[in-house]
Structure 1
Amino acid sequence: MIRTFLSACVATASIAVMAEAQTVAVTNAKLWTGEELVEGATVVIRDGKVTAAGDDASVPSGVEAIDAEGAWVTPGIFSAFSRVGIVEVGAEDTTNDTAAPMSTFGPALQLSDAFNPLATIVPVTRTEGVTRIAVAPGFGSSMFGGQGFIADTSGEPDSITEEKAFTFINLGEGGAGLTGGSRAAAWATLRAALADARTFPARYIASDEGDALGRLDAQALAPAARGDQLILVAVDRASDIRKVIDLKNDSKALNIALVSAREGWIIAEDLAEAGIPVILDPYANLPSRFEALGSTQKNAERLIEAGVNVAIAYFDDDSHQARLVLQAAGNAVANGVSHEDAMRAITSAPATIYRLDDIGTLETGSVGDLVIWDGDPLEVMSAPTHVYINGVEQSLESRQTKLRDRYLSLDVSERPMGFKR
């Protein structure tokens, strides 16, 4: 009986969402399509998909349009690396599902199992215009963090876009420490693990153990080892990055992207030639570790100039402040990146890295993620006035805005006891 009731509730909710995903039209927009800026543009979204976009698009008959009055209109912002929805309170371990240090599993850990779309940080992230998030695992007892996922920030139960979008591997100082204390050990482990995964299930017929991975881990890593899944590699030192390039050149089928890559600028041309994209944080520009002595504010600019596909994220508090990806992109502009490249790095570039062809752009056939802004999206004081995900307008209310509104103009007599002094 309870199960039947819950099923009915889910069905009713699904019908409601479908009903809301009606035709949306925005006119007179300063439109960033994900690739170029178009003045005086119109965007039309029907049933969750963009059906027209550009300065020659027209509003369908009978549809009431929103006049943007020349305001910026962009695809939903894509945070290319975050921990949104898997950490509620950073200081409380029971609410933090980033890593599993006591687990014997590595690649088989599926982070989507821990995602809470109702986490308070999800609407906080959405109200800043971030509609898509890549959520990455941390590292526990293994250099293999597990499977990361892509989700939207609607807060809906079905908000995960790709459950196993990538596998995450640590090949920096941390990876060396997790595999015996040496980079040589880390690379030996990785080569053995890739061999186990490529030959799965053949070598596991007689035994549950491979050279480096158990059966479930080898099965989970197999798509990445065969080039069917993205491999995100956390790495910073130029010599370590060069080893990743060698791995890619030796195994052309592998789909690899780097995370952080603080010294990536040193071998930017090699990265471009190998076709390896980079997800970086422009604020990570100080030599805080030995593997990052070559850090510079010009990393993003130099990588982009060399032809590397660069996506921007915010690493410092990636569970609660992933929304600062916009500020990070603005910081990149202050250090030489063009405004267009910075906008690309938070819209279409992450979608390209994760092979999501219909996300990150506003062109015919794209998913209807759209944001209308009250100013330049990269200006720190700008904010969204409307946010749409899959063609459905989203609430711009969060726990933070509710607290602000509650206490902003509260009469002295109504203040909680602790505030009356």
Structure 2
Amino acid sequence: MRKLLAGASALALLTAAATGHAETVAITHAKILTAGPAGEITQGTVVIRDGKIAAVGASAAIPPGARVIDAAGSVVAPGFFATGSELGLVEVGSLGNDATVNAADLGAGFDVQYGLNPESMQLPVARLGGLTSAVVLPRSAYDRSESDEDEADQYTAGPSGDGSRSHALFAGQAAVINLAKGDNILTRAKVGMVAPFGRAGAGVAGGARGAEIVAFKSALQDVRDYMKNKAAYDRAGYRGLALSKGDLEALIPVVEGRMPVIAGVHRAADIREVLKLVRAEHLKVILHGAEEGWMVAADIARAGVPVIINPLDDRPESYEMLGATMDNAARLQAAGVTVALEATGGSSRVRETRYGAGNAVSHGMPYDAALAAVTLNPAKMFGVADRTGSLEAGKDADLVIWTGDPFEPLSQPTAIFIHGAQQPMTSRQTELRDRYKDLSRPLPPGYTH
């Protein structure tokens, strides 16, 4: 079976290059984890046609002329999301990145979609971890542990010197990307506005949490006033506003409730304040971090607010995270909170997303809930669930064939499809491995001269 998969891969890639998404593929005899209403299918077939899932089920018919992949003994699952990542924005962090901005008049207006790099070497590495999509976030101001206090300025989305810094309350706008090989990886732009709260928010508002909440409210009021008086603002006939026009325009979808605030927040007390704030301001919000979320899980669930958490956060790395525990995901889910899981290590280690999901299961999160937390839940949170996140007819064919349970570290992908196109099973890492594992081969000139 594995030889059949490997032999078919090269042919599939050549065919896809020549015909786009015209190829019809039937993956048969597989255990299918749909992450959708159909749940788990013990043995079934997934049919891919024109880049979409044409059929999925125990009795799905194989279309005439379809290329058949016999996946007996394998598991087919939706491609995972790298939620809360910097994929496509950061290559080697010490050499700079496109995830942060430090401009005097730009914060909310910063849009990561314009800095995406489809040629990033990190995309194939992530893809080989079973990831087919990513939620790419700008890096928020001061959102670091207290041990990073001396380095805080370099992470600030806004000016680091004197003067008004209210715009730095907003780090910029997030995007959803796909990890397919090609030059167009953007799936949806402007899916959320990143804003730091707690200690991080205090850092951009004068050093106190209370100041940040007041500044945040004032910024939103400026946006509402601007919306009512655009003509006067344009002719300089209106009062001065702390935000630039670019930031004011970018925040209109936020105050109208069309774009969620992705609130970086950690301790329970700060989570309560964020929930009060968004309720008073009629905003949509997604909590990001929420290491002490389990302590206020009932409040989060009652507010209908989803969260993005790292299931491996279990150390009190700062006073904001004294209650961090690996039971966080399970407790939040049990309380009725919609949970998405992210990985440790920014863009370089997002391939470990599945390991985190497996750890969440080992600490009490139901398997189906953990699967949803890396597939359908992030798709719903960021407005792309009509396209991806589960194996359902009509959705993009974003799926992975695994040798076994995808949360088991020894399982490996044998085929990856994104938008119905079978992807290369190589990365820079595998190419270097293959280049140097046979030392009898001639070395490059730099090694011999």
- Normalised by the size of structure 1, how large is the TM-score? 0.91
Secondary structure of residue in 1 paired with 2:46: strand
1:84 to 77, 84, 87: 87
Question: How far off its partner does 1:348 sit?
Answer: 0.7
- Equivalent in the alignment of 1:283: 312
CA distance in 1, matches of 2:424, 2:299: 44
Secondary structure of residue in 2 paired with 1:206: helix
The reply to whether residue 221 of structure 1 matches residue 247 of structure 2 is no
- Equivalent in the alignment of 2:162: none
**Larger CA deviation: 292-301 vs 19-28:** 19-28
The reply to whether residue 191 of structure 1 matches residue 217 of structure 2 is yes
- Equivalent in the alignment of 1:126: 127
1:158 to 184, 189, 204: 184
The reply to whether residue 233 of structure 1 matches residue 236 of structure 2 is no
Q: Would you say the 8 A contact 2:226–2:233 is kept in 1?
A: no
- Cα pair distance change 1:19/1:417, threshold 3 Å: closer
Question: How far off its partner does 1:230 sit?
Answer: 2.1
1:274 to 300, 303, 321: 303
Question: How far off its partner does 1:80 sit?
Answer: 1.4
Q: Would you say the 8 A contact 1:25–1:59 is kept in 2?
A: yes
1:307 to 336, 361, 364: 336
Code of the residue aligned with 1:101 in structure 2: it is: N
CA deviations 1:48-96 (Å, max 9, x no partner) are 1111111121111221321110311011111111001111111112xx1
Alignment of 1:352-363 (within 5 A): 352-357=380-385, 358-363=387-392
Alignment of 1:13-412 (within 5 A): 16=17, 19-35=20-36, 36-93=39-96, 96-139=97-140, 140=156, 141=158, 142-207=168-233, 211-252=241-282, 254-314=283-343, 316-357=344-385, 358-411=387-440
CA distance in 2, matches of 1:310, 1:58: 35
Question: How far off its partner does 1:17 sit?
Answer: 7.1
- Equivalent in the alignment of 1:9: none
Question: How far off its partner does 1:156 sit?
Answer: 1.9
CA distance in 2, matches of 1:419, 1:298: 50
Code of the residue aligned with 2:66 in structure 1: it is: V
**Larger CA deviation: 60-69 vs 261-270:** 60-69
CA distance in 1, matches of 2:224, 2:182: 36
Q: Would you say the 8 A contact 1:204–1:210 is kept in 2?
A: no
Count of aligned positions: 402
Question: How far off its partner does 1:202 sit?
Answer: 2.4
CA deviations 1:222-273 (Å, max 9, x no partner) are 1021111122110011111111222333344x22111110111011011111
Structure 1: 4+ residue segments shifted above 4 A: 15-18, 208-211, 415-420
CA distance in 1, matches of 2:373, 2:253: 27
Q: Would you say the 8 A contact 2:23–2:66 is kept in 1?
A: no
CA distance in 1, matches of 2:296, 2:220: 25
Secondary structure of residue in 1 paired with 2:263: strand
- Equivalent in the alignment of 2:165: none
CA distance in 2, matches of 1:80, 1:145: 17
Secondary structure of residue in 2 paired with 1:101: coil
**Larger CA deviation: 383-392 vs 190-199:** 190-199
Report % sequence identity. Answer: 39
- Cα pair distance change 1:17/1:338, threshold 3 Å: farther
- Equivalent in the alignment of 1:5: none
Code of the residue aligned with 2:256 in structure 1: it is: R
Secondary structure of residue in 1 paired with 2:193: strand
Question: How far off its partner does 1:32 sit?
Answer: 0.7
- Equivalent in the alignment of 2:163: none
Question: How far off its partner does 1:220 sit?
Answer: 0.3
CA deviations 1:28-54 (Å, max 9, x no partner) are 111111132111111111111111111
Q: Would you say the 8 A contact 1:21–1:392 is kept in 2?
A: no
Q: Would you say the 8 A contact 1:32–1:74 is kept in 2?
A: yes
- Normalised by the size of structure 2, how large is the TM-score? 0.85
Secondary structure of residue in 2 paired with 1:329: helix
CA distance in 1, matches of 2:407, 2:251: 38
Secondary structure of residue in 1 paired with 2:67: coil
C-alpha RMSD of matched pairs (Å): 2.0
